[in-house]
Amino acid sequence: MISQFLSNKKKILLFITGGIVLLSIFIFWPINAIRDDKKWHTMTHADSIISIVDAMPKGEYESVAFAKQDELLILDKETESQQLMSYLVNRIESENNDYGRGIHAINLGFASLRRKDLDSVLFFANMAEKLIPIDSSHCNFFQLMYLLYQENGDVAKAKLCMANGLLSSEKEGDIPHIRFFANALGEYYSNRLLAGIALKYFVKTYDTYTNGESPPSTLLATIISIKIKEGDFLGAQAFWKANEELLRNAKDAYTRQRLLINKIALNINLERWDESAALFSSLPDSIILEDFHLEYLTNKLLQLKQVEPSDLPEAIHHFSPWLSHNYSKITNPLKMVIVDAIKIDPSSLSADSLNSWKEQNRAQFANNDFANANHYELISVVYDRNDDSRKAYECLSKSRYYLAKYEMLKDSIRSEDALASKEFDEILSKHLADDSTLINKTKRENQHFYVTIVLLCLFFCVVFLMWYRRSSLPGVPKQSSVAQQYHSPKLQNLLDESELHTRVLQVSGILKEKSLELSKKLGKINKRGAPDIEAIRKELEILGSIGPSTLPQFSDIRMKEKFDVIQAFPQIKTMNNTEKKIFLLSIDGHKSKEIATELGVSIQYIHNVRSKIRRVLGIDNTIKWDSFKDVYS
C-alpha cells in the first residue's frame, strides 16, 4: 500500500514538473523565436510578425518591431507596414507606454531623414528625448541624432552621439547598436589617423561576434591593416591566422584587395622581399582602388627603397597625383620614405608643391594636427637640403608644435572617454537610486497600510469575542455580588488617584509655564549681567524645560549641578540649551553615540556642535574633551 502511494506520488511530481516545463516552453518560445529563428529577418507578412511580437513583453518588443515596420516600408510593403504600425500604436496606447511612444517618434525621424527633411528629424528627436524614460534604452535616439549631425556636417556633435550611443548600448547589452557605434567610432578615429584609438573600437566590434556568429571579413581586414600601421606585425599575423578561414572565403573585391595589400605589408615589414615582389606583380597599379592608394604606395616605396633606392625620386614624381589627392592622410612610414627621396634628390619635391598640395586639401588639414606636423616636417627637410637653414628651423619648430598638440589630443580623447563613461554611470545610478527609493517608500507605505488593516481586523475580532463571551455568561443578581461590593472602595480609591494625578499634571503645566515666563522677565531685567539674577534665571529655565509627565534627563541635571562649568567658559552662554548639554556631556567623557542616544539627535549633529564649540572657544582638535575640566577645577 505504501509502495503504491509512493509510486503515485512520483507520478504526480513527474506530471507537475512536465507541466511546468511545457508551460515555460509555451510562454518563452515565442520570445526566443525572434532571437533564434533566422526567418525573422526575411519575414514580410504583418500577421506573422505580429504573432511573434505579441508574445514579447513591454520594453523588449518596441525597438525590434518598429525597426521591422521601417524595413517593410523601405521594401515598398506599404500595406503590411501600415498593418504592423496600427497594431503597435494600439498596443502602446493601451499600455500607456512612454518608451514605445518615444521609439515611434524615432522611427518617424528615420523616415524623415530618408526624405532629407532635417527639420522634421529634429522635431521627432526632441519629442523622443522627452518621452523615453531616463533609465530606458536611448540607443535608437543617439543613432538618429548621430545621423542627423553627420548630415549637417557637425562632426563634433556626431562624435558625441557616437560615444553616448556606445555607452548606452553597452549598458543595455544591445549587440547590434554596440556594433554600429563602435564601428562608427573606429572609422571616425581612423580618418583622423588616430590608429591606436580606432583599433580599440574595431576590436570592440569584433568581440561582439560570439556563439558561432562570423564577423564580416571587411572588419577583419581593417583590424589587420591598423595593426600593421601601429607596427604590431606579429599581432597582425596572429590575428590573420586566427581568422584565416573567414578571410579565405571573402568574396567582395574591396575586402580581397585590402587583404592582398595587408599581406604585402606584412611581408615587407617582416623582410620577406621575394614574397612581396611576387604579390606586387599580381597587383598592378592600375587596378588599385582609390581607398588603398596610400597603403599600396607606402609598400611600393618601401620595397623600392630596399631593392633600388636611387629610383625613389622618380617614383615620387610618378605617384605625385596619388600623393597630392591624399596629402592629409600621409602616415609616418610613407613620410620617412619621401624624406629619403628628398635627401637623394632635393629637386624631387619643392616647398611650393607641398604648399599647393596642402591648399588642395585645406578642409582635411583643418583641426588635423598630425597632418600639419607631417607637412611642416617635409618642408623643413626640403629647405634644409636647399641650404635654407633659417626656414628649415622655423618649419621644424611648427612641426614639433603640431606634433605636441596631436599627442595632447590623444591623451584628452582617452580622458574624455573615461570621464564620459563615469558621468553616464553616475547619472544612471542616481536615477536608479531615486527609483529604488521611491519603490521602497511605496513598499513601506503598502506594508503600513496592510499592517493597519490586519490590526483593525484583529481589534474587531477581539471586541467581537469579548462581546460574545460576555453575552453568553449567565446573569448574576446584584445582591449576591460580594466581590463587586468588596472591590468598590478600591475602585473609588483608583478614581480619586486618577483625579489627583490629573490635578498634579495641571499644576506641573502651570509651574512650567510660570517658570519660563519668570526666566524671560529676569532676562530682560538683568541689564547689567548680575550673576545672582542670571543664576536664578538659569534655574527657572531648567525647571521650565522639565516636562510634566517625565523626569529630568541626565543632561538637565548636569547643567544644574555644573553651573560653574558654564561660568568658566563665558562663550558657551551664547549657545542654545542642546549645545550646552552636548558640551557638558563631552567633557564628562561621553562618546558621540552615547550623547546622540541621550539627547535624541544624530551623531553627525553631535560632531557639528563639537566643531562649533571648539571654534567658539578657539581650541583645536589636539586638545581632548576631558582636559577641559582642568580649566575650571
pLDDT digits (tens, 9 = 90+) for 274-318: 888 888 888 888 888 888 888 888 888 888 888 888 888 888 888
Estimate to the nearest angstrom the gap between the alpha carbon of 339 and the chain centroid: 47
pLDDT of residue 212: 72
SS3 call for 624: coil
CA dist., res. 1 & res. 170, Å (int): 60
Q: Compute CA distances 623 → 71, 150, 473, 487, 608, whole Å.
A: 76, 65, 74, 65, 17
Grid cell 552662554 in the structure block, residue: 573
Instruction: For residue 552, name the pLDDT band (cuts at 50, 70, 90).
Output: very low
Instruction: For residue 347, name the pLDDT band (cuts at 50, 70, 90).
Output: confident
Does residue 469 have a pLDDT over 60? no
Q: What does the DSSP assignment read for 553-616?
A: PHHHHHHHHTHHHHHH-GGGGGS-HHHHHHHHHHHTT--HHHHHHHHT--HHHHHHHHHHHHHH
Helical spans, DSSP H, in 54-194: 61-74, 78-95, 98-114, 118-131, 139-152, 155-172, 175-191
CA dist., res. 97 & res. 104, Å (int): 11
Pull the grid cell for residue 560: 544644574
Task: Summarize the confidence of residues 447-453 as an average pLDDT.
Answer: 59
Domain ranges of the chain: 1-36, 511-551, 556-633
pLDDT of residue 474: 44
CA dist., res. 550 & res. 542, Å (int): 14
DSSP character for 328?
G
Query: Model pTM?
Result: 0.51
Percent residues over pLDDT 70 in the chain: 68
Alpha-carbon Rg for the chain, nearest whole angstrom, is 43
Pull the grid cell for residue 576: 542654545
CA dist., res. 616 & res. 571, Å (int): 7
Does residue 633 have a pLDDT over 60? no
Pull the grid cell for residue 580: 550646552
Instruction: For residue 549, name the pLDDT band (cuts at 50, 70, 90).
Output: very low
CA dist., res. 20 & res. 218, Å (int): 46
Task: Summarize the confidence of residues 146-171 as an average pLDDT.
Answer: 87
Task: Summarize the confidence of residues 345-355 as an average pLDDT.
Answer: 87
Question: Please, is 139 exposed, middle or buried when counting C-beta atoms within 10 Å of its C-beta (0-12, 13-18, 19+)?
Answer: buried
pLDDT of residue 71: 77
CA dist., res. 229 & res. 252, Å (int): 23
First to last CA, the chain: 91
CA dist., res. 281 & res. 231, Å (int): 25
Instruction: For residue 1, name the pLDDT band (cuts at 50, 70, 90).
Output: very low
DSSP character for 213?
P
pLDDT digits (tens, 9 = 90+) for 60-74: 777 777 777 777 777
Task: Summarize the confidence of residues 98-120 as an average pLDDT.
Answer: 85
Going by C-alpha positions, the residue among 292, 280, 207 that lies closest to residue 243 is: 207
pLDDT of residue 579: 84
CA dist., res. 504 & res. 152, Å (int): 85
Estimate to the nearest angstrom the gap between the alpha carbon of 422 and the chain centroid: 6
Residue pair 633/609 in contact by the 8 Å Cβ criterion: no
pLDDT digits (tens, 9 = 90+) for 585-604: 888 788 888 888 877 788 88
Question: Please, is 375 exposed, middle or buried when counting C-beta atoms within 10 Å of its C-beta (0-12, 13-18, 19+)?
Answer: buried
Range 451-454, long-range pairs (CB < 8 A, 24+ positions): none
Instruction: For residue 547, name the pLDDT band (cuts at 50, 70, 90).
Output: very low
Does residue 11 have a pLDDT over 70? no
Residue pair 109/128 in contact by the 8 Å Cβ criterion: yes
Task: Summarize the confidence of residues 432-437 as an average pLDDT.
Answer: 51
Residue pair 353/342 in contact by the 8 Å Cβ criterion: no
Q: Compute CA distances 216 → 34, 46, 84, 180, 239, whole Å.
A: 22, 30, 31, 13, 14
Does residue 184 have a pLDDT over 80? yes
Going by C-alpha positions, the residue among 260, 261, 342 that lies closest to residue 294 is: 261
Instruction: Supply φ then ψ for residue 366, to 5 degrees.
Output: -65, 125
pLDDT of residue 22: 41
Going by C-alpha positions, the residue among 220, 213, 265, 261 that lies closest to residue 241 is: 220
Report which residue type is found at 132: I
pLDDT of residue 470: 55
pLDDT of residue 483: 35
Estimate to the nearest angstrom the gap between the alpha carbon of 126 and the chain centroid: 21
CA dist., res. 596 & res. 332, Å (int): 69
Instruction: For residue 535, name the pLDDT band (cuts at 50, 70, 90).
Output: low
Sign of CA dihedral 229, 230, 231, 232: negative
Does residue 23 have a pLDDT over 70? no
Does residue 423 have a pLDDT over 60? no
Going by C-alpha positions, the residue among 163, 180, 264, 258 that lies closest to residue 217 is: 258
| CATH number 1.10.10.10 is the correct assignment for the domain at 556-633 | yes
Q: Compute CA distances 420 → 197, 412, 413, whole Å.
A: 16, 12, 10
Going by C-alpha positions, the residue among 304, 298, 360, 367 that lies closest to residue 335 is: 298
Pull the grid cell for residue 363: 578642409
Higher-confidence residue of 34 and 312: namely: 312
CA dist., res. 504 & res. 547, Å (int): 12
Grid cell 563613461 in the structure block, residue: 421
Higher-confidence residue of 623 and 158: namely: 158
pLDDT of residue 118: 87
